């Protein structure tokens, strides 16, 4: 392949070129497939099952996690918690305090083990913190604090439960019918498989297998010759990729089916999003050419992207099929809470350790806002830049700006995914600008043909349809939040008020107040939930390019 110009998207520097990888973590920046830890068929979800067991040296972590789930441990804010449950909670926490302080050195050098370490320790951390009585100061014992901080430091993640712990790296494959397995292999390996009917600019544009023509570093399985027999299902050379119908969770806090369904809705959304990432890549390839044929292809890709986003929206709403709203709000969601206002986490460390370990003061819990997939759609469509443009300098409170809050969520993402978003943001030819420029050029040209005018109108319509699809997805998310958080929160307030008035028996001190601050409903990510979601939704709606641009 001939060299590309210095300003081409493919010529941009690698994401870690300045800071490099953290100490002890292998440098994968020269391997295109690993630059952003994205797979062509599974997107931000790893193509292989996450590690489900740490080395034997860390058995105490695994055993304490299994014990917490098996008890099951109870929330400290549980309204009707019994004395026996309080004692069982404290007995388990005592075991955590008494366990040996283990070095994480055996995990260093393996991204898979570090991820499993963070997942395990984060679950232990949230079990420990959120099983405490609501008035008890939070002191995290050194046996848990030190390894959690060290592992988080190596992964460049905050020492708290994240979306990646709950969703991206918390799944295993389930059994599937033999025919479905064969079909999945055929789809993932066949050169002829093209679910979108795309006509890429070159043969590698869609299948994402050539590093030189692959700005995202996506990879797909090696192709097989059409008509060749499929390898047997037992063949180790044919990895079984996760699909929306073949994944389930490894761990839950509550042991409920509702929690499995809650994670599954996000996991299915992520897997469907792999198609969106493929379409983004094909679009960026065409933007490099930016001729009439390229823009016709972009129109087609954007139309397909709208369909994919609609599928993602459907997956999000799939949480209704099996996740009970009351169960979610009362038995699942409280385990996600990170550091809450007025209840600072105290990490028990030696003086020397405090000097060498930087501890974030902002430790939000997991949130859908930490999904790199949703951010990628915003960046690709230019929705994040629209938010900057509409905010006048110094006129908006950065703390309450939905765009700023979304950007803050990125520090909770795996570092490779953050790098991808930076790389995508650095594209020298942003899609939104290109669409506006193309439509305006055709409008102002004196010798424009009817066909060119029609193409420009269809391009603008396709872009606006994609923006509208994102807006519709956010509308669906707001409806889910209304069902699973806003409604149950209102009923919880009514019960608390009834207790205070003596109309209902029970201890009002057990009511969970961590979800609210100054009367405002807080998300597990720490945001003013209603204001944040509506703000992001409204910004998206305003990103539609007005018809006058034609």
Q: Which residue has the tokens 């230019």?
A: 382
109 contacts 26 by C-beta, under 8 angstroms: yes
First CA to last CA distance, the chain: 37
541 contacts 381 by C-beta, under 8 angstroms: no
Query: What does residue 108 show for φ and ψ, rounded to 5 degrees?
Result: -65, 140
* Of 182, 166, 168, 117, the residue nearest 146 (C-alpha): 117
Report whether 104 belongs to an annotated binding site. no
Q: Count of CB atoms within 10 A of residue 324's CB?
A: 17
Reported as half-sphere exposure (CB side, CA atoms, 13 A), residue 209 has a value of 12
Number of residues that this document lists for the chain: 550
92 contacts 68 by C-beta, under 8 angstroms: yes
Q: Which residue has the tokens 């009511």?
A: 511
169 contacts 266 by C-beta, under 8 angstroms: no
Q: H or E element: which one contains 281?
A: helix 257-289
Pair of tokens at residue 210: 């050539």
The Cα-based distances of 451 to 442, 446, 447, 545, 548 in angstroms read 11, 14, 12, 21, 19
Q: Which residue has the tokens 């390019």?
A: 545
Which residues is 39 bridged to in the sheet? 43
Q: Which residues contact 451 (CB under 8 A, 6 or more apart)?
A: none
- Residue numbers in the known binding site for heme b are 477
- Residue numbers in the known binding site are 477
């Amino acid at each position: 392949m001939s060299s590309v110009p210095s300003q081409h998207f493919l010529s941009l520097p690698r994401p870690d070129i300045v800071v490099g990888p953290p100490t002890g973590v292998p440098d994968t920046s020269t391997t295109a497939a690993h630059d952003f830890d994205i797979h062509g068929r599974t997107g931000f979800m790893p193509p292989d099952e996450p590690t489900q067991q740490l080395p034997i040296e860390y058995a105490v972590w695994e055993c304490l996690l299994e014990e917490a789930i098996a008890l099951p441990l109870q929330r400290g804010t549980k309204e009707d918690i019994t004395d026996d449950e309080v004692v069982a909670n404290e007995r388990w926490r005592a075991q955590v305090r008494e366990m040996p302080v283990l070095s994480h050195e055996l995990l260093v050098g393996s991204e898979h083990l570090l991820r499993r370490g963070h997942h395990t320790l984060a679950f232990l951390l949230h079990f420990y913190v959120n099983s405490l009585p609501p008035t008890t100061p939070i002191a995290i014992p050194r046996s848990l604090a030190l390894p959690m901080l060290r592992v988080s430091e190596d992964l460049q993640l905050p020492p708290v439960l994240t979306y990646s712990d709950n969703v991206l790296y918390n799944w295993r494959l389930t059994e599937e019918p033999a025919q479905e397995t064969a079909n999945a292999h055929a789809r993932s390996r066949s050169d002829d498989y093209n679910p979108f009917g795309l006509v890429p600019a070159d043969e590698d544009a869609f299948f994402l297998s050539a590093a030189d023509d692959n700005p995202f570093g996506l990879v797909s399985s090696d192709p097989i010759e059409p008509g060749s027999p499929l390898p047997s299902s037992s063949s180790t050379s044919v990895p079984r990729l996760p699909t929306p119908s073949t994944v389930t969770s490894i761990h839950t806090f509550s042991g409920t089916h509702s929690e499995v369904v809650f994670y599954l809705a996000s996991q299915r959304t992520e897997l469907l999003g792999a198609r969106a990432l493929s379409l983004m890549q094909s679009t960026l390839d065409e933007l490099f050419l930016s001729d009439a044929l390229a823009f016709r292809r972009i129109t087609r890709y954007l139309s397909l992207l709208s369909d994919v986003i609609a599928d993602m929206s459907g997956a999000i709403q799939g949480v209704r099929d099996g996740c009970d709203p009351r169960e979610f709000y009362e038995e699942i969601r409280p385990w996600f809470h990170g550091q809450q206002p007025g209840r600072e986490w105290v990490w028990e460390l030696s003086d020397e350790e405090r000097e060498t370990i930087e501890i974030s003061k902002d430790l939000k819990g997991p949130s859908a806002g930490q999904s790199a997939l949703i951010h990628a759609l915003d960046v690709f469509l230019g929705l994040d830049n629209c938010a900057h443009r509409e905010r006048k300098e110094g006129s908006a409170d950065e703390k309450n700006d939905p765009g700023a809050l979304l950007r803050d969520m990125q520090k909770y993402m795996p570092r490779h995914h953050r790098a991808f978003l930076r790389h995508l943001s650095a594209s020298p030819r942003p899609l939104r600008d290109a669409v506006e420029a193309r439509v305006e050029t055709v409008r102002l040209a004196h010798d424009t043909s009817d066909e060119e005018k029609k193409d420009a109108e269809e391009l603008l319509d396709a872009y606006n349809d994609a923006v509208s699809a994102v807006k519709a997805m956010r509308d669906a998310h707001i409806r889910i939040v209304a069902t699973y958080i806003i409604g149950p929160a209102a009923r919880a307030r009514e019960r608390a008020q009834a207790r205070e008035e003596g109309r209902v028996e029970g201890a009002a001190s057990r009511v969970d107040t961590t979800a609210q601050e100054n009367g405002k409903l807080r998300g597990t990510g720490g945001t003013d939930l209603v204001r944040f979601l509506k703000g992001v939704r409204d910004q998206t709606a305003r990103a539609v390019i007005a018809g006058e641009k034609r």
